[in-house]
Structure 1
Amino acid sequence: MKKTLFLVGLFMALAIGNTYAQKFALIDMEYILGKVPAYENGNKQLENVSKQWQAEIDKAAQEVEAMYKKYQADLVFLAGDAKTKRENEIVTKENEINTLRNKYFGQQGELMKRREAIMKPIQDNIYEAVKEIATANSYQVVVDRASASTIIFASPSIDISDQVLARLGY
């Protein structure tokens, strides 16, 4: 009797637990973004602009290097004021390079602004597709496998990345 009562109680506990079970899904954002042509084109645009800006900074750095070498060569012939003037020119040019570097590559720089302008609409579309799929399938949580470093294993059956791509039309 105790055994039967125990089994019935265990069965009911499992049944109740399953009705309150939450549904989870995974996406792989890197995989999804790799399949979106607009993302790849945006990355190429950003890379090209970044290379142009870096070339501009490198050219200015070479000019500073040349100024410094000329200063070193002429150091013996320079008087106090001339020496100070040349040093100040070099420091000013170095400061201009740092300002330019921050303008292009800083946290509030042009590259970040362009990246946001290009990538945000793509990411918003993906988010909306994930949200629609999650709502339609009653998923309580959708986790990005690419950014969740603590996931050791996940069943491929809960990966909805291909569904997201299909919803986006890819």
Structure 2
Amino acid sequence: MKKIIFSILMIFALGVTSASAQKGIRVGYIDMEYILENVPEYQEASRQLENRVQEWKAESESRMRKVQNMRTQLENEKALLTPELIEEKQAEIAYMEKQALEYQQGRFGPKGDYINQKKQLVRPIQDQVFAAVQEIAKIRNLDFIFDRTADIGMIYADQQYDVSELVLRTIKRTANREQLQGKDEVAKMEKDESLTLEQEKEKTEREQVIEERKSEREALIEKRNKERDSIRAAKQKEFEERRAKILEERERKRDSILQSRQKKNDTIN
């Protein structure tokens, strides 16, 4: 399987562009297993992990033996036990077996301790390998570097062979075509599809600049509107306060006049 995948990747790499084919593509490979076997830190950590694995295996086997012994004991004593006691012991055995299996899964399952600690063990070495691979690729002008011990294999590729944008562009085109309505929209789509990747990138950048400027203008307009509304609100508040003060003053004067008249009337009477 690894050879088939490697061959497919090689054929793809060699056929990316005719220009690249003319200059020749330079390929290298590593053997990750060999590298790991010769890194002392990894070997020491592997030994420590293996010791823990042996302890986990011993514990798992001990639990399963205990379950089996309980089953054997129950079979031997069945004739002497009441149905209620048999059912109770069977329930206890089932619980113990479930616990043993959960322990086994927690240690050696797909998301268990062994897999997780193995990944943690390999990750620092992988980071060092990837950093070294990138440096070597630049020094030796390599276009692709594969790991012959991995299923997929490729751990380095020159960016010029990355066709992710082309794939994404094709997916978007297909989705957009399904939503087109009318000749004008179809014509616009066909015009956009005639653009090269670089031209489309420039077009996208121009559209982004236009959109950013539009957003800036809208933000400026909104800011001005808020300032205008704030000024209007302040003036309205000032007007209301001044009006209230005038009305209060008028009311005070009116009350004063009424009080004065009332005093005169009282004096006359």
| Same fold flag (TM > 0.5) | yes
Match of 1:89 among 74, 92, 116: 92
Which letter does structure 2 place at the counterpart of 1:125? Q
CA distance in 2, matches of 1:18, 1:83: 77
Of the three residues 76, 80, 91, the one matched with 1:77 is 80
Structure 1 segments unaligned to the other structure (5+ residues): 1-15, 150-170
Q: Deviations over 1:91-117 (max 9, x none)?
A: 111100110011111111111221122
Q: How far did 1:146 drift? A: 2.7
Q: Tell me what 1:139 maps to.
A: 142
- For residues 63-118 of structure 1, the C-alpha deviation after alignment (integer angstroms, 9 at most, x for no partner) is 11111111011010111111111111111111001100111111111112211222
Q: 1:23: how far off? A: 0.7
Is contact 1:61–1:94 with CA below 8 Å preserved after alignment?
Answer: yes
Match of 1:49 in 2: 52
Match of 1:37 in 2: 40
One-letter amino acid of the counterpart of residue 92, structure 1? Y
TM-score when scaled to structure 2? 0.47
Q: Which residue of structure 1 aligns with residue 119 of structure 2?
A: 116
Say if 1:33 and 1:39, in contact at 8 Å, map to a contact too. yes
Task: Report the equivalent of 1:3.
Answer: none
Q: 1:86 to 1:132 in 2, by over 3 A?
A: same
Q: 2:69 aligns with which of 66, 69, 79?
A: 66
C-alpha displacement of 1:20: 2.3
Report the alpha carbon displacement of residue 17 of structure 1 after superposing the two structures with TM.
7.2
Q: Whole-Å Cα distance in 2 between the matches of residues 24 and 17 of structure 1?
A: 13
> What is the rounded CA distance, in whole Å, between the counterparts of 2:102 and 2:28 in structure 1?
45
Could you say which structure has the larger radius of gyration?
A: 2
Determine the structure 2 residue equivalent to 1:168: none
For the Cα contact (< 8 Å) 1:64–1:90, is it kept in 2?
A: yes
CA distance in 2, matches of 1:145, 1:49: 29
Structure 1, 116-125 or 93-102: larger mean CA deviation: 116-125
- In the TM superposition, residue 127 of structure 1 has moved relative to its aligned partner by 1.2
Residue 157 of structure 1: aligned partner: none
Equivalent-residue separation in structure 1 for 2:128 and 2:116 (angstroms): 19
The correspondence of residues 148-159 of structure 1 with structure 2, limited to 5 A, is: none
Letter in 2 for 1:99: E
Displacement of 1:18 in angstroms is 6.9
Does residue 154 of structure 2 align to residue 129 of structure 1? no
CA RMSD between the two structures:
2.0
Aligned residues: 135
Mean CA deviation greater in 21-30 or 90-99: 21-30
1:100 matched residue in structure 2: 103
Give the match's secondary structure for 1:40: helix
Give unmatched runs, 5+ long, in structure 2.
Answer: 1-18, 153-269
Which contiguous aligned blocks of 4+ residues in structure 1 show a shift greater than 3 angstroms?
16-19
Question: Take 2:20 and 2:47, find their aligned partners in 1: how far apart are those partners?
Answer: 50
Deviations 1:109-138, CA, capped at 9 Å, x for gaps: 111221122211111111111111112222
Partner in structure 1 of residue 255 of structure 2: none
